[in-house]
Structure 1
Amino acid sequence: MLCTPSSLLFAVPPQALMNIRTLKSIYPTSGPTPLTAMQMISLHLYINRPHGSEDSLDPHYGPYISTLPREFDSHPLTWIVRSKSGIESGGVPLLGYLPPSVHASLVTLHDRFCQDRAAVRAYLTANSYISSKYDTHLANIDDSISNYVWAWLNVNTRCIYYRLKASKEDPDNLALCPILDFANHTPNGPHMTPAPSEADIWDTAPIKPIGKGFRFLSPAGVSVQEDEEIFLAYGAHPNRTLFVEYGFVNKSLGEVEITDGEVDVQDVVESLILDHKSGAHVKSVLEGEGYWGDWTLYCSRESAQPSWRLITALRLHSLFVSNNTIHHNAIQPWRDVIEGKREMISDGNELAWKESLIKICDAIVAKAHASLDNLKSDSAEYGHGWLPWMRENVRTLWREELLVAAAVKQRALRGDDF
């Protein structure tokens, strides 16, 4: 059987989707503890998690819930939750091997998880009429956390954008979708795509309160042969995001060449700036102008470069370093650059910030080499189940940092313009 380009693969009716509208009758959102879509869907899974290998007893979505993954032991959020309970088994030791930027992103994810869990617990406390459904989950605090990690990760790793609100950016525009969540991710095509909804076409809130469901189309540019797998793209995310949010990375990078990559250099740049006597002042100015943090290095087939935010921060840092005293007027050339009134502060400043960039790249490369060596020497600890695969994912994160930093350094040494 041949599937022609952009043809209908399958359709999911609106009632089969799990979202804030379809669950509203079960969990009213009025009252002192309203729930977000993320919290409501994870609450429903939390209450209706299957026991062991049994099917879910949920009368609404039981068959679908029974198809969901039964555990997320390999996901890094599970590791950090277990580490908080003093557990050191499974993937918990790998937390110590993560690049600092990845670990920081994981901590941010854990904070979001804790906030959602607290909101769900408050909702359950305020709505005792469903106590018979959740008492068993709260009887043991360890089981309670484990069950909610399972529920929350199913939503966080498998939900898809689904327009339900007037605003396209509303965070409640999401749903769990049966059938679709069997699709694997690939960064490159061909991908199946959701057909635009009426709300997206006309840019209005859907006429029907729960939308019109999902229709999924085959890849636009190619025909799909029988028995050929069709993939879904989770978005143009760096490996750091894929690892933290979904628990995997794109395929391993080569040891010599890199095609795409991104490195968050917050920890290295923050130390560079704050270790100088002018650091507090530089930070204050960058915060005031909205340029503190979110500093990255990029690499693609076409180029390798620091982000504009990083260049901006390093220019200011170099301006302060080169002056024993800095007055407000002395910063004006830097402000002129970020406002587009001039291309650069001076030739000397350009050389200085690029020298700082090279030092940053050297620090990242050195740290990556050391971490890769440590992971290699400790490989015997990760020899069974999913641990070797996840260990290799962590190595991929470090290889990406190494190769991106090396590529950016090479351009800086050549004197290329960024």
Structure 2
Amino acid sequence: MKTGTGDLLVECKETPTAGNGLFARTLCTPSSLLFAVPPQALMNIRTLKSLHPTSGPTPLTATQMISLHLYINRPHGSEDSLDPHYGPYISTLPREFDSHPLTWMVQSKCGLESGGVPLLKHLPPSVHACLVKLHDRFCQDWDAIRAYLVGNTHSVSSSKAIADCEFIHLFKTPLSTSPPVNTRCIYYRLKASKEDPDNLTLCPILDFANHTPNGLHSMTPAPSEADIWDSVPVKQIGFRFLSPADASVQEGEEIFLAYGAHSNRTLFVEYGFVNESLGNVEIADGEVDVQDVVESLILDHKSGVFVKSVLEDEGYWGDWTLYCSAESVQPSWRLITALRLHCLFVSNNTIHHNTIQSWHDVIAGKREIISDGNELAWKESLITICDTVITKAQAGLDSLENDGAEEYGHGGSDRWLPWMCENIRTLWREELLIAAAVKERTLRGDDF
């Protein structure tokens, strides 16, 4: 990048527990320019398009094109990448992602049982379901890249054999203004619409930064004119990153990047780690997806199919959670809405659209509740859901302990296994603690 030492206020150092990290080389006052990455050093759909041309519009998304370039120019063994455009940057990227849950899923589909594959059976159902969706997107992306390679043989030498399982270390997911996000990409405005999933880039130097869940010592990208005015980007001006606006960073202190307000479930599936264990559920942020439990509760009743169709029509099917924050511990509005409808039909012998007018009035804001009886009924169902989650979570923790999961693998290459097992324990403990807290507040009559 040909930057002088005076232009760069940060440096990469190895951390005791999180691999590489980004540290201040000197005192950084609030909102200082930490570093600037020129546009030609960014790896995105605009900079790569000329390197992988097609006869017409490119058939690849930004995620797929970035992954294609990484695949073609990946280093061999401990050697550096020979890519004349991004070789030095590619050479700094990790060489394998064996500890990432998506790698386990891909390996399991290939019939392998090594590494973290045995841990798949220990994941909470909601986490496993998210991982399956990520794997499906991975397969779609890989199919698109493989089709491109078949149709554009000039993009890869004939000596590069292409095997499905060889590609597992290049996992990726689309990034937009909402999760899920790419494990190593950051949002970068390139398209007319700010919601376009191709608004992403790989960025040297920034790539070294670790995640912070609380925003402390967190750098921020300087907005471009396109971001400020919500306009079509006319040209790339590079990427500039500023030090925290509310505090100075001392020399030698680590500077972080906040990945966003993601649940531990999302962090685990998308990034392969979780935030620290919940200590006090009263002050910790957390979320539990109860899709599997609620879906069974609804569909096991004779009215289940009808209730599901109504919820789907009104946009309330799925995405049911229990969550906690510093301000509250409660079920999500979507969950309350679904349970109200379910309990309305449990208390009625008829299944008809006329029965749900009172429910429609509630979601339309015309009335607060369906009835006092309905409120009691859905809260009783909520307690049953919490009990089910607590039981499953305790069983999951016991299974992980009794199975001796830390001993899976083959020694040195899988030294991350104990750490990853602790991450899975955190996921189960989070479900147990939040479900117990929601149950407690329901029993004591709190309003939600």
User: Within 5 Å, which residues of 2 pair with 1:367-386?
Assistant: 367-379=392-404, 381-382=406-407, 385-386=415-416
Separation in structure 2 between the aligned mates of residue 153 and residue 37 of structure 1, nearest angstrom: 11
Cα deviations across residues 49-90 of structure 1 (Å, max 9, x unaligned)?
A: 100000001111001000000100000000000001111111
Contact 1:191 1:218 in 2 (8 A): yes
Distance 1:34 1:256, change over 3 A: closer
Aligned counterpart, 1:200: 227
In the other structure, the counterpart of 1:20 is: 45
SS at match of 2:313: helix
Q: Is the 8 A contact 2:42 2:238 kept in 1?
A: yes
Instruction: Say if 2:174 is the partner of 1:150.
Output: no
Give the 3 Å change call, closer, same or farther, for CA 313–229 of structure 1 in structure 2. same
Displacement of 1:130: 2.3
Normalising by the residue count of structure 2, what TM-score does the alignment of the two structures yield?
0.89
Partner of 2:97: 72
Amino acid at match of 1:93: P
Instruction: Note the residue ranges of structure 2 that are not aligned, 5 or more in a row.
Output: 1-25, 175-181
Deviation at 1:33, TM superposition (A): 6.0
Task: Name the CA distance, whole Å, in 1 between partners of 2:321 and 2:59.
Answer: 37
Residue 255 of structure 2 aligns to a residue whose secondary structure is: coil
Q: Deviations over 1:319-365 (max 9, x none)?
A: 00001113322110001111111111000000000000000000000
Q: Does 1:362 align with 2:381?
A: no
Match of 2:287 in 1: 262
Q: 1:82 aligns with which of 101, 107, 111?
A: 107
Say whether the 8 Å CA contact 1:10–1:216 is kept in structure 2: yes
Task: Give the conservation status (yes or no) of the 8 Å contact 1:33–1:122.
Answer: no
| Residue 288 of structure 1, CA deviation | 1.1
What per-residue deviation string (whole Å, max 9, x for no partner) do you get for residues 175-194 of structure 1? 00000010000101220000
Shift of 1:196: 0.7
Q: Which residue of 2 aligns with 1:96?
A: 121
| CA deviation after TM superposition for structure 1 residue 379, in Å | 2.8
Any conservation in 2 of the 1:344–1:350 contact (CA below 8 Å)?
Answer: yes
- Quick one: which amino acid aligns to residue 327 of structure 2? E
Gaps of 5+ in 1: none
Q: Secondary structure at the match of 1:21?
A: helix
Q: Which has the higher helix share?
A: 1
> Number of residue pairs matched?
410
TM-score between the two structures when normalised by the length of structure 1: 0.95
Structure 2 CA distance for partners of 1:381 and 1:216, relative to 1, 3 Å? closer
SS at match of 2:46: coil
Q: CA 1:380 to 1:83, structure 2 compared with 1: closer, same or farther past 3 Å?
A: closer
Alignment check: 8 A CA contact 2:126 2:289 kept: yes
In structure 1, which of residues 242, 248, 252 is the aligned counterpart of residue 267 of structure 2?
242
Residues 281 and 437 of structure 2 are in contact (CA less than 8 Å); yes or no, is this contact kept in structure 1? no
Q: 1:297 — aligned with what?
A: 322
In the alignment, which of 178, 187, 193 is matched to residue 204 of structure 2? 178
1:273 aligns with 2:273: no
Q: Deviations over 1:195-226 (max 9, x none)?
A: 01111112111221xx1001000001110101
Q: Which residue in 1 is equivalent to 2:252?
A: 227
Partner of 2:353: 328
**Which of 398-407 and 322-331 deviates more?**
322-331
- Whole-angstrom CA distance in 1 between matches of 2:383 and 2:417: 35
CA RMSD of aligned residues (A): 1.6
Residue 217 of structure 2, aligned match among 163, 180, 190: 190
Residues 21-40 of structure 1: pairs in structure 2 closer than 5 A:
21-31=46-56, 34-40=59-65
1:394 matched to 2:424? The reply is: yes
